[in-house]
Amino acid sequence: MAPIAHAEDGGGSIRIPASCNGLVGLKPTRGLVTNAVVEVEGLGTGGVLTRSVADTAVALDVLARHDPGAWWSPPTPRTSFAAAMKTDVPTGLRIGVLTDSPIDGIRVHPACVAAVDVALRMLESAGQHIVDTPLPLPPTDELVTAFTTLWNVGGAGIALAEPDRVEPHNRALREAARAIDSWTYAEGVRKTQQLSRRIVEGFLAGFDLLVTPTMACLPPLVGAWRTGTEDAPLRALLNSYPMGVFTSVFNVTGQPAISLPVHHDEATGLPVGIQIVAAPWREDLLLQVSRTLELALPWAGRRPTVS
């Protein structure tokens, strides 16, 4: 409906719709694109949805400008992302792989794993090295508790003039936030930063890029997240875990991550995205590699079959 669309990502809300709709969705490094305020203690950042890597690079050139009024904002990049995207991709990159869910108990759909395999074969044929170094992820309970503490309170910061008129899920989030005392919230902020440092240090030591499925599931039916929310409104978040289980980790770390629509499910024709994650501030490398995959596995003209 539009050549480019604005989006924001606090747990995957750029990359998840990109995967569901066969689009490109880049979540930039924390702080590269600023907002009026720091969203959800730095978990959230702005970006765009596009059909091509080139469009994403051009948009990032506009968005990634030094903001003197922001709490933190890097200098404007010296080289444009559009120009960097066109340079040759270095070979011999260490490509890590994560296809098991970072949260215990969530099954990853075979088509999502197949999408990663498609991308890895292409990257390996281009001279990159696939490594089996594991990403040092914390235990599920640590990661989920820290993330949801910040997420719940962040959502409660939205002023609701008429709270009784919003969806039950949003009211329930507001009440959950009110139940979190300041000590617990401060500990959640501290724990999130500690987990982020641990993961990023392991990432830098192990590989240059990490490839994962964008989602653990195929695009769900409209409204599927509502299942069971009539009696338990907060179940909406649990229902969404298969969509955000791979993306939300990198909101915690603040690393740049992009969803690319390299695959589709043979049975349904639905698009299936992969996520590529880079070291902080390496959007240039992320866009270079993404462009390589786009040329090898073109997607811009792909449309679902209408039955």
| CATH number of the structural domain spanning residue 183 | 3.90.1300.10
Alpha helices in 207-232 (DSSP H): none
In a domain, 120, yes or no: yes
Q: Specify the higher pLDDT residue, 277 or 224.
A: 277
Instruction: State residue 176's pLDDT score.
Output: 84
In a domain, 306, yes or no: no
Contact assessment for residue 126 and residue 91, using Cβ atoms and an 8 Å cutoff: yes
Q: Give the pLDDT band of residue 53 (cuts 50, 70, 90).
A: very high
Mean pLDDT of all residues in 24-45: 92
Greatest CA separation for the chain: 57
In a domain, 189, yes or no: yes
Please identify which residue in the block is written with the tokens 């080139």: 54
HSE, CB side, 13 Å, CA atoms: give it for residue 70: 19
Q: Is the whole model's pTM more than 0.85, yes or no?
A: yes
Distance between the two ends of the chain, CA-based, in angstroms?
21
Contact assessment for residue 209 and residue 124, using Cβ atoms and an 8 Å cutoff: no
Mean pLDDT of all residues in 71-90: 91
- Domain extent, residue 94, equals 4-296
In a domain, 175, yes or no: yes
Mean pLDDT of all residues in 126-136: 95
Number of structural domains the chain divides into? 1
Contact assessment for residue 27 and residue 45, using Cβ atoms and an 8 Å cutoff: yes
CB within 8 Å of 44: residues ≥ 6 apart: 8, 9, 10, 35, 154, 251
In a domain, 55, yes or no: yes
Q: Specify the higher pLDDT residue, 36 or 39.
A: 36
In a domain, 235, yes or no: yes
Q: Is the pLDDT of residue 158 over 70?
A: no
Q: Give the pLDDT band of residue 40 (cuts 50, 70, 90).
A: confident
Phi, psi of 124 (to 5 degrees): -65, -40
Q: 123: closest CA among 302, 299, 24, 260?
A: 260
State the CB neighbour count (10 A cutoff) for residue 282. Answer: 17
In a domain, 307, yes or no: no
Q: Is the dihedral of CA 13, 15, 16, 19 positive or negative?
A: positive
Instruction: State residue 27's pLDDT score.
Output: 98
State the CB neighbour count (10 A cutoff) for residue 183. Answer: 8
